[in-house]
Chains A and B, each alone.
Chain A
Amino acid sequence: EVQLVESGGGLVQPGGSLRLSCAASGFTFSTYWMHWVRQAPGKGLVWVSRIHSDGSSTSYADSVKGRFTISRDNAKNTLYLQMNSLRAEDTAVYYCARDLGNYLPRDAFHIWGQGTMVTVSS
């Protein structure tokens, strides 16, 4: 079964850091671009970041650029999101998502995890 399972969410103070993980199974992880998408409580979806299948290229939304870092370990079939200098407005459910395309991104999010909640509050 194709599956993505996020972990690492929780409560963190403003200015703090958190690292999210996304464990992939049931497909050849190393051949797909991967993404992080977030959703604040009661709000819409917001794209956060994208990473090349081999980790060589990354892109970020302006709202997180310079604070968040996406990475992956293809040997462990795991995607990461390191979040630093967290702000209240970063409070959201964070989803990892697999791109529809192999090797080339199509920016269509075909497989989604269940999400992990990040709350930034003092």
Chain B
Amino acid sequence: QSALTQPASVSGSPGQSITITCTGTSSDVGGYQYVSWYQQHPGKAPKLMIYEVSNRPSGVPDRLSGSKSGNTASLTISGLQAEDEGDYYCSSYTSSSTVIFGGGTKLTVL
């Protein structure tokens, strides 16, 4: 099964908003609410930012929000800050009872 589709890179200036998309199929993103988003800094373990499409774990700022429409999930970061820079990955449960990740998106804060 191929990875979920994410843009390779996005960028924005401090204070702006950006959106990262994650496109799958009806067998994964479109079929279930188990979509998550992770942030990863170089050389570090990933950090869970959003789970079940739109929920934030404790400690994640409300500047981050998640949504889903059809087979595409989205992560929006508003009020962009330097600390938001990093790689972002989406993941989804699949109809095969496995988990699939997106290819990752590099977020650059200009």
**A residues at B contact (CB < 8 Å):** 35, 37, 44-47, 50, 59-62, 95, 100, 106-110, 112-115
User: Is B52 within 8 A of A46, CB to CB?
Assistant: no
Chain A interface SS verdict (over half): strand
Chain B interface SS verdict (over half): strand
User: Is A108 within 8 A of B34, CB to CB?
Assistant: yes
Interface size on B, residues (CB 8 A): 24
A44-B3, A100-B57 are contacts. A110–B45 as well, Cβ < 8 Å? Answer: no
Across chains A and B, the number of contacting residue pairs, with CB separation under 8 Å, is 61
Q: Mark B72-108, 1 if CB is under 8 A from A, else 0.
A: 0000000000000000010101000111111110000
**B residues at A contact (CB < 8 Å):** 1, 3, 34, 36, 38, 40, 45-48, 51-52, 57, 89, 91, 93, 97-104
Docked Cα-Cα span, A118 to B46, in Å, equals: 18
Nearest residue in B to A96 (C-beta to C-beta)?
B45
